[in-house]
Copies of this chain bind each other. A is one copy, B any other.
Amino acid sequence: MNRLLGTLTGIALMAGLAAPMAARAEDKDVIDYRQNVMKTLGSQVAILGAMAQKKIPNDNFAAHLQILAETAASAKAAFTPKVVGGKSKATIWDNSADFNKKLDELVQVATAGATAAKAQGAAAGMPRLTCKGCHDVYREETK
């Protein structure tokens, strides 16, 4: 009986250890997801910036703005699960109405920019993205 209890305690301990490990793995997946969305936004903004400054040929200006707009639209799903960590501050979920409003504005501006670029090419110019407005408030700065 003592041996059985010992075994049960052992199983319970293992289950207790396993549960937070699984939770951490899932959290990492959620953080990876939104960081990958942000990486795409970052690389597309860098490409568009170089095109706007005529450092590289701008034939694909509209295509990169379209990719940016679609990625911005995908960001909301990535930030839905409340998992504080990575560079995300807890205030994202504490002030979710404001955070989502800012994200909606980004989607709107990027989508309008992509539509303009499809009609006018690079002459449409770079839309006024609001990256900083959100990053200043909701992103943990790397020291």
Contacts and interface: CB of A to CB of B under 8 A. Distances in A.
A1 to B, nearest CB: 41
A118 to B, nearest CB: 12
Number of copies: 2
A46 B36 CA distance: 7
A33 interface: yes
Nearest to A56: B33
B55 A77 contact: no
Contact of A44 (B30, B40, B73): B40
A26 B33 CA distance: 33
Interface in A1-40: 26, 29-30, 32-33, 36-37, 39-40
Given A46-B36, A56-B33, A73 B77 contact: no
Contacts of A60: 74, 77
Interface size on A, as a range, is: 20 to 34
A90 interface: no
Interface string A110-124: 000000000000000
A104 interface: no
A77 B59 CA distance: 8
